[in-house]
Structure 1
Amino acid sequence: MAFILTFLGKGGSGRSTLAIATAQKFARQGKAVLLATQDAGPVVGTQLGQSLTATPQSVETNLWAMQLRSATLLEQSWDAVKALEAQYLRTPFFKEVYGQELGVLPGMDEALALDALRRYDASGDYDVIVYDGAGDQTTLRMFGLPEILDWYLRRFRQVFEASDLGKALSPFIQPIANAVLAGDWAGRLEQPSQQAADLLGQGRTAINDPTRVLACLVTTPEAAAVATARHLWGGAQQIGLAVGAVLVNQTTAGTLEPEVFAPLSNHAIPALATQDWAALIDALPDFNQLAQSAPRPIVIDVPARRVSLFLPSFDKTQVTLTQYGPEVTVEAGDQRRNLLLPEELRGRPVQGAKFQDRSLVISF
């Protein structure tokens, strides 16, 4: 398993430059590093002094870099879908559709990139993966996919199986499945569903663990960049993505006032001059240490029947808490989170909620 690191911040704040410097920092520590950029342009390759391709290429000792090209990733994913279909269906019907024919629909880029990160992580080839994405709400939606899809899979399956429609259709499932599926229909129906659930659960667990996946905020001293970083900080907490520090880029005049991003540390990073990467690398913090000390987005205290959600940059007027049946939903800004509660708290009614130390504290 690799340590996955990404950066959030306003466009033009220098996220890609800091991603490169971070990848070089880890590589020079002897770590095997993959720098994966979603920037389709030539900028990252130009800074590295080498054109990037859709597959990892060595750019220096211990460092590989690549572009996450959606069309190529879609072809690879489509081949996997066809292989799965051929395994489970008697007469596959996607076999005459080729990945090279498919276009990338809006929203597919993030899902394809996340799956690529999952595969490179699972390969065991890299100690560190530095992901250079859009660094905005798009990136947050990407990292939030495992939790959201896991919820859809669990919740809708439960509702369907308990519904009159589900009960009415269940006698017809077996003969239809026997006609379409190969081999043991029951096992074939259950296996893909369980595989999907396992993958989503693993993804959710990894993203909720700052020693596995960590984000850092990137800003300049400019007010709009600071405001954007604060907004993304709050959004990251909503999807369970820990944020470790603030990198104040293109400045040597000092860092921001501590209370702006408290309790995060913030670090002044000088502007890149004449490809002098050493100065940037030296100014970067110890990311492994940040992973250990990053504020947890959610803390669950089962004995006290209390859940604390760290929601910096939001106040109580911007947060809505609702409970429908067994589900507790928190809406902050333009993001909504369904809390996955432990069995001991699941289904219990909310007794109260309050804002305390930038956290929403929910009592059951």
Structure 2
Amino acid sequence: MRIIIYTGKGGVGKTSMAAATAVKMSKQGKRTIILSTDAAHSLADSLGMRVGSEPVQIGENLWGQEVNSLRETEKNWGAVQGWLKVLLNKAQLTDITMEEMLVFPGMEEMFSLLQIKEHTQSGQYDVVIVDCAPTGETLRLLSYPNALNWWLEKMFPNERRLIRLVRPVAKFVNKIDLPSDDVLDSIERIARSLEELQRIVLDPEMTSVRIVLNPEKMVLAEAKRSFTYLNLFGFNTDAVIVNRVMPDEAGEGFFAYWRDIQRKYEEEIVMNFQPLPIMKAPLMNKEVIGLPILEELADIVFGGQDPSAIFYRGRTEMIREEKGELLLELTIPFVEKSDLNLTQTGDELTVDTGAYKRKVILPRPLLGRRVTGAKFTEDRLIIRFGDKNMVGRE
């Protein structure tokens, strides 16, 4: 079983890359489904054919699905939402937006991702390609099961017993409906499903994340931020795909200017994401719509490589705790210790190796912390951070 998740800033072409990969996989005889968990679906537009909220066969060995987040939320959260609605009605807290408020931020995206688990466990497919919402923050939601699991194991059994005891009294005295067993079962089922989903997507032998970006300043900054978070939460990023690269024959004048700008950021992309494999997709001379052009795009990007291969194993960034301090480890191959220089400006680190310069935007656990030391060993730069405080340039 193979799961490949495509993510990136909105508008970079990640849907096209995900669809191209799916088409290529199906042509290799692998039963492939591509599903979009993005609320603003564009998968059907990319494929050039209708795709529904349930898997629809769109070619030999190829299925497509645009996940209906509202329906998935109703399926998973309906019982809890119904109980909360009754509770608010009795408290006379009624409003036209009340039902929307009963679905917490990020919940719809999280329930959409559960489709990955269902397709993986169904046995109907060899490959699941995911066109993810346009940010790595969606994947960050998968870190929640750790807290949910602890709560269920430590607190849930006692809470259940307590609720059963006080439910009749609470309803008689305060006219409050405490959650029924159906509601409690629903909460437990959600937590267990998310825990299982987390296990699947964090398995580096099964799941890879691929970042799609354009050679532009703002897109590159977002991609670096997403990459940091993906490493922080343990996802295996196995490739970076630079999309819409202008060819050398772009011409003179206006297009030549943008071609030169792109070349500058292509070099920066290599410096920031090595040793990850970096693949390039050209700016095509026609609209990337329909199965034939998607297959052509995949052939250009992957060449003779199998798109379902795991192109890279390992985490190029990692945060760990040691003796009360937080350590950030960065993989920096092919450099000498004497060539390294580290500076901190606010919540951004700059690692200068002479020929290469890499900027690292600190993830949330390291925000506001000052660098207290660093060492370089076995191609890894290990940076120590002290207690939280305001940081300046060092």
Q: Partners of 2:74 and 2:191 in 1: how far apart?
A: 23
Distance 1:150-1:60 versus aligned 2 partners, 3 A rule = same
Deviation at 1:125, TM superposition (A): 1.4
Give runs of aligned pairs for residues 336-347 of structure 1, distance below 5 A. Answer: 336=365
Q: Partners of 2:9 and 2:295 in 1: how far apart?
A: 24
Deviation at 1:176, TM superposition (A): 4.5
Match among 223, 226, 243 for residue 220 of structure 2? 226
Q: Partners of 1:315 and 1:35 in 2: how far apart?
A: 43
Residues 33 and 126 in structure 1, CA contact (< 8 A), matched pair in contact too: yes
Deviation at 1:40, TM superposition (A): 5.0
Aligned to 1:121: 120
Which whole-Å deviations, capped at 9, do the CAs of 1:217-250 have from their partners, x for residues lacking one?
A: 2122222222221221112111211211111111
Aligned to 2:253: none
Residues 4 and 130 in structure 2, CA contact (< 8 A), matched pair in contact too: yes
| Counterpart residue type for residue 58 of structure 2 | V
Task: Point out where structure 2 has 5 or more consecutive residues left out of the alignment.
Answer: 88-97, 171-181, 249-262, 333-341, 349-360, 367-371, 386-394
Q: Partners of 1:299 and 1:280 in 2: how far apart?
A: 36
Which whole-Å deviations, capped at 9, do the CAs of 1:189-233 have from their partners, x for residues lacking one?
A: 998887666544433332322222211121222222222212211
Q: Partners of 1:287 and 1:117 in 2: how far apart?
A: 19
Deviation at 1:116, TM superposition (A): 2.1
| Counterpart residue type for residue 284 of structure 2 | L
Match among 294, 299, 306 for residue 282 of structure 1? 299
Identical pairs, percent? 22
Instruction: Tell me the secondary structure at the aligned position of residue 290 of structure 1.
Output: coil
Match among 196, 211, 214 for residue 208 of structure 2? 214
Q: Partners of 1:77 and 1:194 in 2: how far apart?
A: 11
Give runs of aligned pairs for residues 173-252 of structure 1, distance below 5 A. Answer: 175-176=165-166, 198-251=192-245, 252=247
Q: Does 1:130 align with 2:129?
A: yes
Instruction: Tell me the secondary structure at the aligned position of residue 146 of structure 1.
Output: helix
| Counterpart residue type for residue 4 of structure 2 | L
TM-score, normalised to structure 2's length? 0.62
Distance 1:301-1:260 versus aligned 2 partners, 3 A rule = closer
Instruction: Tell me the secondary structure at the aligned position of residue 289 of structure 1.
Output: coil
Instruction: Tell me the secondary structure at the aligned position of residue 256 of structure 1.
Output: helix
| Counterpart residue type for residue 134 of structure 1 | A
Distance 1:26-1:309 versus aligned 2 partners, 3 A rule = farther
Aligned to 1:13: 12
Residues 281 and 300 in structure 2, CA contact (< 8 A), matched pair in contact too: yes
Q: Does 1:293 align with 2:313?
A: yes
Deviation at 1:54, TM superposition (A): 0.7
| Counterpart residue type for residue 290 of structure 1 | I
Task: Point out where structure 1 has 5 or more consecutive residues left out of the alignment.
Answer: 86-91, 94-100, 181-187, 320-331, 338-351
Distance 1:151-1:13 versus aligned 2 partners, 3 A rule = same
Distance 1:281-1:40 versus aligned 2 partners, 3 A rule = same
Q: Does 1:259 align with 2:253?
A: no
Residues 36 and 132 in structure 1, CA contact (< 8 A), matched pair in contact too: yes
TM-score, normalised to structure 1's length? 0.66
| Counterpart residue type for residue 273 of structure 2 | F
Q: Partners of 1:51 and 1:358 in 2: how far apart?
A: 49
| Counterpart residue type for residue 196 of structure 2 | Q
Residues 210 and 291 in structure 1, CA contact (< 8 A), matched pair in contact too: no
Distance 1:52-1:197 versus aligned 2 partners, 3 A rule = closer
| Counterpart residue type for residue 12 of structure 1 | G
Determine which structure has more spread, i.e. the larger CA radius of gyration. 2
| Counterpart residue type for residue 14 of structure 1 | G
Q: Partners of 2:373 and 2:16 in 1: how far apart?
A: 41
Aligned to 1:329: none
Q: How many residues align?
A: 306
Deviation at 1:57, TM superposition (A): 0.7
Distance 1:50-1:355 versus aligned 2 partners, 3 A rule = farther
Distance 1:62-1:176 versus aligned 2 partners, 3 A rule = same
Aligned to 1:151: 147
Q: Partners of 2:327 and 2:120 in 1: how far apart?
A: 30
Aligned to 2:33: 34
Q: Partners of 1:24 and 1:144 in 2: how far apart?
A: 28
Pick which of 261-270 and 221-230 moved more. 221-230
Distance 1:172-1:45 versus aligned 2 partners, 3 A rule = closer
